[in-house]
C-alpha cells in the first residue's frame, strides 16, 4: 500500500518561502493595482516601484504567525491586527497620493497620510461619507459596489483653495471571495496642476491669436483700401504702405518673441555652464541702445565695477535680458531723463551672486501690477505698450532666461518715482572663474 505523502500547505510552510507563499495574493493584488495606476498615469513609475519594494519588504520582514483572510480589514477590526493586515496597511501607506480602503458598506478600514491631509475628518470604522461629503464620491462608490467594476468621477472644491480632484473607486476582492466580502479602494488624483496648465494654454492661444489678429486686420484693411478707393492716390498709398510696414514689423517681432520664449522654455532644465563676464555684455547693450536713448532724451549712466563679474551663462540670452530691461527703462521711464545701471556682488546662503540693476526715474509701476509683470502678455497699459512696439512678452522671456541660469528678477517700484529691475545670477565658483579670467586676460 502506498503511503500518501502530504506536502505542507503554503500557510504551514516556514521561513522565507512560507512568507512569500502566504503573502502571494496581496503581493499580486498590489502589483496589479500599482501597474494599473502607472498605466493610467496616476502614479510615476519610480514611485510605484518604490511602493512595491516597500510592500515586499513589509511582507517578508518579521514572522508571519497569523494566517487568514488577506483582505481582512487592518486596524479597525480585530482581524486587522495580524501580519496580513499590517501588510495591507503598508500597501495603503506607501502610496504617494490619497488612498482610502473601505468595506463594501462604505466604512473606512484604512487610509494613508495623504488622504488624512485631504479629508481630516476620516476615521476608521466611520462611514466615508461623513468625511467626504461629496455627492460625486458617494455616487461613484454606489455604482462601483453595484456593478463590481471600477468607477471614475471628478469633483472640485472651493475651500480652503480651488482644486480639482479625480476619484477612482476600485472594487478589490480576494480570489474566489463573495462580492460582499471584498473591499473598495478609493484613489484620489489631484487634477489642479493639469487644469491650471490647461487654462494657461487656452489663455495663451487666445492672447497670441488676438495679438496677431489685430495687425493682420489692419493690414488687410489697407490692402482693400489700396485696391479700391485709394488706387490712384499716390500720397495715400505712401502713407498706408508706411503703416503696413510697421504692422508687419510688429507681427514679425511678436512671432520672434514667441519663438524665443518657446526655445528658452524647451531648454529651461539645461543650465548653461560657459563663464560669461556680465560687464561687457551690459556695456554693449547700453551702446546699442544709445540711439533710442538720444531719441527719448535719456542719459544712460553705468557704474562699471573694477573687476569682471563672471557667471555661468549663455552670452546671447543674457544680452537679451539686459536689452529688454534697458529698452523698457528707456521706453516707459523716459520722463525720468536718467537710466542708471549698477553692478554689485552679494553673499547669499547659497553662495555669491552678481546683481545688475537697471533703474529709471519715470512714472513707476503700481504695486498691484508688480507680481504679474512677468506673465506673458501682461501689460500695465496695453495702449502704451503697443504704441512703443511692445509685445507683452519681454519680461516673460527675461524670467525664463533667468530661470535657466538659476537666477531671478526682483522688481521694485514706487509710483511717481521710477522702477528698479534687479537681475541676480550666481557667480562662477573657483576653477571656472579662474579659467575664464585667464582666458579673458589672454585675449
Ligand atoms: P512690453 O512688450 O509691453 O514692453 P514687457 O513684458 O517687457 O512687455 O513689459 C510688460 C509691461 O511692464 C509693459 O507693458 C509696461 O507696462 C511695464 N513695464 C516694464 N518696464 C517698465 C518700466 N521700466 N517702467 C514702467 N513700466 C514698465
Q: What percent of the chain has pLDDT over 70?
A: 82
Euclidean distance between CA atoms 119 and 99, whole angstroms: 11
For residues 376, 377, 380 and 384, what is the CA-based torsion angle, rounded to 10 degrees?
Answer: 140
The answer to whether the CB of 335 falls within 8 A of the CB of 362 is yes
Residue 275 CA: distances (Å) to CA of 255, 260, 413, 415, 436? 30, 22, 31, 37, 6
pLDDT for res 72:
37
Residue located nearest, by CA, to atom 8 of ligand 1: 392
Which whole number is the average pLDDT over 323-339? 97
Q: What is the pLDDT of residue 113?
A: 94
The residues, any chain, with a CB within 8 Å of residue 335's CB and separated by 6 or more, are 361, 362, 363
Q: What pLDDT sits at residue 167?
A: 94
Ligand 1 pocket, residue 336 CB under 6 Å: no
- pLDDT on residue 220: 95
Q: Residue 202 above 80 pLDDT?
A: yes
Which residues are CB-contacts of 166 (< 8 A; sequence separation ≥ 6)?
A: 152, 153, 154, 188, 189, 191
Under 8 Å between Cβ of 189 and 166: yes
Closest CA to 132 of 103, 165, 161: 165
Question: Ligand 1 pocket test: which of 250, 255, 300, 328 has the largest number of ligand atoms within 8 Å of its C-beta?
Answer: 328
Mean pLDDT of the chain: 84
Beta pairing partners, 127: 107
Task: Tell me if 381 CB under 6 Å of ligand 1.
Answer: yes
Gap between the Cα atoms of 143 and 379, Å rounded: 50
Determine if ligand 1 sits within 6 Å of the CB of residue 360. Answer: yes
Q: Which three cell numbers stand for residue 87?
A: 501588510
Cα–Cα dist 425/235, whole Å: 52
pLDDT at position 372 is: 95
Does the beta carbon of 373 lie inside 6 Å of ligand 1?
A: yes
Q: Give, using CA atoms, the residue closest to atom 14 of ligand 1.
A: 379
State the closest ligand 1 atom to the C-alpha of 390, by its place in the atom list counted from 1: 2
Q: How far is the CA of 325 from the centre of ligand 1 (A)?
A: 9
CB 73 less than 6 A from any atom of ligand 1: no
pLDDT in tens, 9-50: 444 445 556 666 667 776 777 777 777 777 766 667 777 777
pLDDT at 160 over 90: no
Q: Rg for the chain (alpha carbons), in Å?
A: 33
Give strand pairing partners of 426: 353
pTM over 0.75: no
For residue 249, give the nearest of 218, 290, 287 by alpha carbon. Answer: 218
Alpha carbons 89 and 83: distance in angstroms, whole number: 10
- Residue count (the chain): 443
Summarised one tens digit per residue, pLDDT across range 108-119 is: 999 999 999 989
Amino acid at each position: 500500500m502506498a503511503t500518501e505523502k502530504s506536502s505542507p500547505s503554503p500557510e504551514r510552510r516556514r521561513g522565507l518561502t512560507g512568507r512569500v507563499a502566504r503573502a502571494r495574493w496581496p503581493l499580486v493584488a498590489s502589483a496589479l493595482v500599482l501597474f494599473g495606476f502607472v498605466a493610467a498615469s496616476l502614479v510615476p513609475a519610480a514611485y510605484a516601484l518604490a511602493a512595491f519594494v516597500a510592500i515586499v519588504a513589509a511582507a517578508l520582514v518579521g514572522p508571519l504567525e497569523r494566517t487568514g483572510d488577506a483582505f481582512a480589514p487592518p486596524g479597525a477590526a480585530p482581524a486587522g491586527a495580524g501580519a496580513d493586515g499590517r501588510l495591507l496597511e503598508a500597501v495603503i501607506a506607501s502610496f504617494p497620493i490619497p488612498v482610502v480602503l473601505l468595506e463594501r458598506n462604505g466604512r473606512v478600514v484604512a487610509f494613508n497620510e495623504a488622504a488624512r491631509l485631504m479629508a481630516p475628518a476620516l476615521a476608521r470604522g466611520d462611514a466615508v461619507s461623513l468625511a467626504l461629503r461629496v455627492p460625486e464620491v458617494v455616487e461613484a462608490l454606489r455604482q462601483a459596489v453595484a456593478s463590481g467594476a471600477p468607477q471614475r468621477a471628478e469633483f472640485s472644491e472651493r475651500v480652503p483653495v480651488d482644486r480639482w480632484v479625480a476619484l477612482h473607486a476600485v472594487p478589490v476582492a480576494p480570489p474566489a471571495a463573495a462580492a460582499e466580502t471584498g473591499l473598495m479602494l478609493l484613489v484620489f488624483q489631484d487634477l489642479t496642476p493639469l487644469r491650471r496648465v490647461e487654462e494657461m494654454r487656452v489663455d495663451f492661444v487666445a492672447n497670441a491669436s488676438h495679438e496677431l489678429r489685430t495687425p493682420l486686420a489692419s493690414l488687410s484693411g489697407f490692402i482693400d483700401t489700396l485696391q479700391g478707393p485709394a488706387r490712384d492716390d499716390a500720397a495715400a498709398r505712401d502713407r498706408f504702405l508706411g503703416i503696413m510696414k510697421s504692422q508687419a514689423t510688429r507681427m514679425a517681432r511678436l512671432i520672434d518673441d514667441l519663438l524665443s520664449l518657446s526655445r528658452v522654455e524647451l531648454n529651461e532644465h539645461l543650465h548653461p555652464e560657459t563663464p560669461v563676464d556680465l560687464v561687457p555684455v551690459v556695456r554693449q547693450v547700453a551702446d546699442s541702445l544709445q540711439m533710442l536713448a538720444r531719441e527719448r532724451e535719456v542719459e544712460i549712466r553705468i557704474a562699471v565695477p573694477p573687476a569682471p563679474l563672471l557667471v555661468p551663462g549663455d552670452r546671447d540670452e543674457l544680452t537679451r535680458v539686459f536689452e529688454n530691461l534697458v529698452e523698457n527703462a528707456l521706453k516707459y521711464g523716459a520722463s525720468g531723463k536718467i537710466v542708471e545701471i549698477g553692478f554689485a556682488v552679494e553673499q547669499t546662503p547659497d553662495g555669491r551672486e552678481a546683481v545688475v540693476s537697471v533703474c529709471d526715474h519715470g512714472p513707476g509701476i503700481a504695486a498691484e501690477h508688480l507680481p504679474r509683470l512677468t506673465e506673458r502678455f501682461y501689460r500695465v497699459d496695453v495702449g502704451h505698450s503697443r504704441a512703443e512696439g511692445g509685445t507683452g512678452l519681454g519680461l516673460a522671456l527675461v524670467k525664463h532666461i533667468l530661470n535657466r541660469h538659476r537666477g531671478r528678477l526682483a522688481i521694485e517700484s514706487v509710483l511717481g518715482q521710477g522702477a528698479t529691475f534687479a537681475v541676480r545670477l550666481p557667480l562662477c565658483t573657483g576653477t571656472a572663474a579662474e579659467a575664464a579670467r585667464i582666458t579673458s586676460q589672454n585675449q
